[in-house]
Amino acid sequence: MTRRLTATDIVAGYRPDLPILHGVSAHLDAGEVVTIIGPNGAGKSTLIKSIAGLVKITSGIVEIDGADRTGTPAHLLAGAGVAYVPQTGNVFTTLTIRENLIVGGAALPKAEALAQIDRIFDQYPMLATKQSEKARVLSGGERQILAIARALLTSPKIILLDEPTAGLSPMAASELFDLVRGLVADGAAVLMVEQNAKAALKMSDRAYVLAEGENRIDGVASDLLENDEIGRIFLGARPEDVT
């Protein structure tokens, strides 16, 4: 299996003298969904942002397809096949859906961008039927679909998702997870931070559990779903109570 991403011994944070991550490691292979879970303040979003070039890494290495990309700014990582979808502020609410996609494809040649937008509309009919409407009319789930669709315009090999189901209804979250599984079926690899631990583990291939900025447990997602230690220590509940 092709190794898409390797993060090794990452130390990072928002201030050099106050690291949030203390030597965290993770990897991502082609065709898999890997989820990062753990309690609030564990460093989950910091990890994915550091990989995406949005948080300074003070030590450690991030490799994309075997090449050292440590500290590469987010806009340059796109050229290496990496797309990052933040938790909030991920669509332009005053622009139409089509305009959002045009912005997302700005780095592509015009003809290629238009062809990719047509492909997105074929793949996501909901976006096509509302393409002339402002993004602010979309529901939370629809906005997340638009944000992910915009990220897909450059045909990324790696998609980084930061809490994609935050604030969504259970039905919308389930639909979004189905969409994520579809992304890897199309050949991408997804690294996802998610608070909805139980649902995320059910649809993931592997997972990492972080606590206090460190790796604590990792493994096959279905095995972690049954791990009593995760529910008791890291999520503050029995596994069956985790939602």
What secondary structure does DSSP assign to 220-234, as a single string? EHHHHHT-HHIIIII
pLDDT at 88: 82
Q: In the sheet that 158-162 helps form, which strands lie side by side, from edge to edge? A: 82-85, 158-162, 189-193, 33-37, 206-211, 214-220
pLDDT at 225: 87
Q: Where are the domains of the chain?
A: 3-80+158-241
In sign, the C-alpha dihedral spanning 231, 236, 240, 243 is: negative
Q: Note whether 169 and 20 are within 8 A (CB).
A: no
pLDDT at 227: 84
* pLDDT > 90 in the chain, percent: 76
Name the pLDDT band for 65 (thresholds 50, 70, 90): very high
* Per-chain mean pLDDT for the chain: 91
pTM, to two decimals? 0.91
CA 73 to the chain's CA centroid: 17
Name the pLDDT band for 233 (thresholds 50, 70, 90): low
pLDDT at 232: 66
In DSSP terms, which residues pair with 29 in a beta bridge? 3
**3-80+158-241, superfamily in CATH?**
P-loop containing nucleotide triphosphate hydrolases (3.40.50.300)
pLDDT at 226: 85
Q: Between 107 and 149, where is the model more confident?
A: 149
Which stretch, 76-80, 186-190, 205-209, has highest mean pLDDT? 205-209
Predicted confidence (pLDDT) at residue 241 exceeds the cutoff of 50: no
Q: Is 132 exposed, middle or buried (0-12, 13-18, 19+ CB in 10 A)?
A: exposed
Tens-digit pLDDT profile for residues 112-133: 999 999 999 999 999 999 999 9
Tens-digit pLDDT profile for residues 26-58: 999 999 999 999 988 999 999 999 999 999 999
- Biggest CA–CA distance in the chain, Å, is 53
Predicted confidence (pLDDT) at residue 234 exceeds the cutoff of 80: no
Predicted confidence (pLDDT) at residue 78 exceeds the cutoff of 70: yes
